[in-house]
Amino acid sequence: MARLVALFVALLAQAAILTKGLRALKAYKIRLSASDLSGSVVVTSYMGAGSSVVKCAGLAAASGAAATPVFCITLQQTCLVTNAYFPPGYISPEPQVHQCYTTTAPLFDMTTALATCPAQYGCCLEPFESVSNVGCIYANASFLPPKPYATARAMCQSLWPTADLLVPYAWGNLDDYLKARGVEGPWLGAKKNTATSQWQWVDGTTVSASSWGSKLLGGLLKSQ
């Protein structure tokens, strides 16, 4: 019994050190898959030296949190420090294989935000913008380089309880908004239904070529 008590106390102390270290770094837990760290993402691996979350957090801090916003511990106890961008609360749509944290700050304190602007009321909090004939929108260049549709949607949904990829009401207004902010090639809330071969918005309605034009269908949506 004494050994069990000692082990429990040791585990509590270890958890307290971990929590303190992550708070000092201002890191937030996220759930990533291996594919989230593929492509053009830069990943630095530390084997052995980064065998714990606390040590890995230290390596991430030494690398500069702004330049390396995500760090992970793999199943093989390797520390990965990467320039990948994922917001707090992100949950990969694929099976998770890494224990990861992001140093990217939340857009706002969710508890306070929900008290100020309950999700069901439909208000639009900063940094989201209420854009005429577009909706309550948030466009962030940090979401680039382009990510798979499912990943982009999961990132969007992590920002707010009712958030999702945009279903635009007027292409011209949206185009003007994106150009003014230098945002190119964003995902919209549409995907091809493999059963019907038709494009559908995330709200279930069908994308109409006659309404949205070849620029939308042939450009922003052609890769899905």
What phi-psi label fits residue 173: left (phi over 0), alpha (psi between -120 and 50 degrees) or beta? Answer: alpha
Pair (114, 30) in one structural domain: no
Percent of the chain with pLDDT over 70: 74
User: Is 8 a domain residue?
Assistant: no
Using pLDDT thresholds of 50, 70 and 90, give the confidence band for residue 125: confident
The answer to whether residues 98 and 114 belong to one domain is: no
Instruction: Indicate the number of domains in the chain.
Output: 2
For Cα atoms 21, 12, 78, give the angle at the middle one, nearest 5 degrees: 50
Examine the pLDDT at 222 and tell me if it is beyond 80.
Answer: no
Average pLDDT over residues 12-28: 53
Residue 116 in any domain: the answer is yes
Whether residue 186 lies inside any domain: the answer is yes
Mean pLDDT for the stretch of residues 123-152: 78
Would 17 be classed as within a structural domain?
no
Report pLDDT for 106. Answer: 86
Task: Please give the pLDDT value at position 101.
Answer: 93
Q: How far apart are CA 8 and CA 29, in angstroms?
A: 23
Q: Is the pLDDT of residue 219 over 90?
A: no
pLDDT tier, 209 (very low <50, low <70, confident <90, very high otherwise): low
Choose one of 68, 102, 136: the last residue of a domain.
102
For position 6, what pLDDT does the model report? 41
The residue that leads in pLDDT, 173 or 67, is 173
Q: Are residues 79 and 126 in the same domain?
A: no
> Distances in Å between the alpha carbon of 199 and those of 85, 91, 123?
28, 25, 29
180-190 tens-digit pLDDT:
887 777 788 88
Task: Kindly state whether residues 143 and 86 are assigned to the same domain.
Answer: no
Residue 9 is assigned to a structural domain of this protein: no
CATH number of the domain within which 205 lies: 3.10.100
Domain boundary among 51, 81, 102: 102
- Domain range for residue 61? 26-102
Helix (H) or strand (E) holding 193: strand 190-193
Q: Is 118 exposed, middle or buried (0-12, 13-18, 19+ CB in 10 A)?
A: exposed
Mean pLDDT for 199-204 is 85
Q: Is residue 149 part of a domain?
A: yes
Residue 146 pLDDT class (50, 70, 90 cuts)? low
Residue 42 or residue 121, greater confidence: 42
45, pLDDT greater than 70? yes
40 and 122 housed in the same domain: no
